[in-house]
Amino acid sequence: MADAHSESTKPTLSLDDLRERIDQLDSKLVELLNDRAKLVVEVGKYKRGTGVPIYAPHREQAVLQKVLDASRGPLPASAIEAIWRELMSGSFALELPLRIGYLGPAGSFSHQAASKQFGSSVSFEDLRDIRAVFNEVARGHCNYGLVPIENSIGGGIVETLDAFLDVGREIEIYAEVQIAIHHNLLANCEPKDVKRIHSKPEVFAQCRHWLGAQYPGAELIAAASSARAVQTAKAEEMLEPGRGSAAIGSHLAGQLYGVNLLFETIEDDPNNITRFFVISKEAAQPSGDDKTSMMFTTQDKPGALVEVLQVYERAGINLTHIDKRPSGRENWTYTFFVDAVGHREEKKIIDAITEIKTHCKDVTVLGSYPRSKRIL
């Protein structure tokens, strides 16, 4: 079958005619987009009048699924999804401007996740640590916050779990976002001149083989974040041209700070994914395919954890994630974090939570949210 790039199919119209057709379609498209936007403005009035949350991840999943199912190509699904995400971002601006907090500085992977999820029509606030993201959402300064919960290579993010321990009762997990983490070598010198490379120690570990093969003699310098590393590489090369300063960071950081992309996707395992939670003060509605996150502290007796896990087993509830942290109250007592498939309004989850409470010192439901189906 001929594809979009096939040489054998000759265009049926002249270039001018093709562009004329594109212009005609564009004017129809812009009219349709604005018709859609007028409906969104009405939805906004309804929401402001009733207190229904502006950002509705369950509805966004349904909208995306409908357009992806309706698309017959040749635009790839990823392009359709990116267009609709930006369209829905524009909707926020019409309904109520949203402020999204993330772990900064700008150009961090949290920033990348936030811009992929919320598009460019919202305002972003880069915060100094994960705890600040929780605080700004809890005090209503940010409508939503984005926090990393787990990386497929590095495991659970301790700062996020500890923040849930402290303020988990004041906020709700509202949505789940997964992004592919790709590392890139960025520098404003020639590839052959790179001598010093800045980044986070975890990032060096994830690119160890590539660095060993390409830059065995380079000095690796630890930075607090990969975005900060890109800023430093830029500043060093400006102050002292020829020093050979580079950084490993995101595309976005390179664009934001004006540092060139020398090599992309340099991580040893390209299947590197970070899962984030969108946190909010509101609870998300069921989408039909949801997860519920909860934390519980078991009683100090033999088999306490097994008893809890058996409740899930008997109820036929699938657990997709389990983690633990010291409870912070008494030495050697632990708080467990689990993600279970199902919404907290479903009877099987309600019954399981009721039973788990009889085996635990305390149980907190951190939120139910649509299960993320795509890696952004």
Ligand X SMILES: C=C(O[C@@H]1C=C(C(=O)O)C=C[C@H]1O)C(=O)O
Site string for ligand X, 295-334 (x = CB under 6 A): ----------------------------------------
Q: How far is the CB of 47 from ligand X (least distance, A)?
A: 7
Nearer to ligand X, 54 or 308 (CB): 54
Nearer to ligand X, 95 or 237 (CB): 95
Nearer to ligand X, 33 or 158 (CB): 33
Q: How far is the CB of 245 from ligand X (least distance, A)?
A: 42
Helix/strand/coil for 59: helix
Contact 347, 324 (CB under 8 A): no
Q: Among all residues, whose Cβ is closest to ligand X? A: 91
Outline where the chain has alpha helix (H). 15-50, 57-70, 77-95, 109-118, 130-138, 158-167, 201-206, 208-214, 226-239, 251-257, 304-315, 347-357
Tell me if 118 contacts ligand X by CB under 6 A: no
Nearer to ligand X, 90 or 244 (CB): 90
Where does this chain touch ligand X (CB under 6 A) — which range of 21-29, 87-95, 266-274, 359-367? Answer: 87-95
With 0-12 CB in 10 A as exposed, 13-18 as middle and 19+ as buried, what is 349? Answer: buried
Distance CA 293, CA 176 (A): 11
Q: How far is the CB of 55 from ligand X (least distance, A)?
A: 5
**Which residue in the block uniquely carries the two structure tokens 């290579």?**
153
5, 175, 235, 318, 353 from 287: Cα distances, Å? 38, 11, 47, 17, 20
Nearer to ligand X, 95 or 323 (CB): 95
Q: How far is the CB of 95 from ligand X (least distance, A)?
A: 6
Q: How far is the CB of 88 from ligand X (least distance, A)?
A: 4
Nearer to ligand X, 94 or 309 (CB): 94
Q: Which of 61, 91, 292, 372 binds ligand X (CB under 6 A)?
A: 91
Restricting to residues 19-78, which ones interact with ligand X according to CB under 6 A?
40, 43, 55-56, 59-60, 63
Q: How far is the CB of 40 from ligand X (least distance, A)?
A: 5
Nearer to ligand X, 98 or 132 (CB): 98
Q: Which of 64, 88, 161, 360 binds ligand X (CB under 6 A)?
A: 88
Nearer to ligand X, 95 or 150 (CB): 95
* Angle formed at CA 282 by CA 276 and CA 286, multiple of 5 degrees: 75
Q: How far is the CB of 80 from ligand X (least distance, A)?
A: 14
Distance CA 313, CA 308 (A): 9
Q: How far is the CB of 284 from ligand X (least distance, A)?
A: 11
Total residues binding ligand X (CB under 6 A): 10
Helices 57-70 and 77-95, axial angle in degrees (round to 10): 140
Nearer to ligand X, 143 or 231 (CB): 143
Q: What H or E segment, with its residue span, contains residue 171?
A: none
Give the long-range contacts of residues 160-163, CB within 8 A, separation 24 or more.
160/130, 160/277, 161/323, 161/325, 161/337, 162/325, 162/328, 163/130, 163/131, 163/133, 163/134
Distance CA 15, CA 229 (A): 46
Q: How far is the CB of 292 from ligand X (least distance, A)?
A: 21
- Interface contacts to ligand X, rule CB under 6 A: 40, 43, 55-56, 59-60, 63, 88, 91, 95
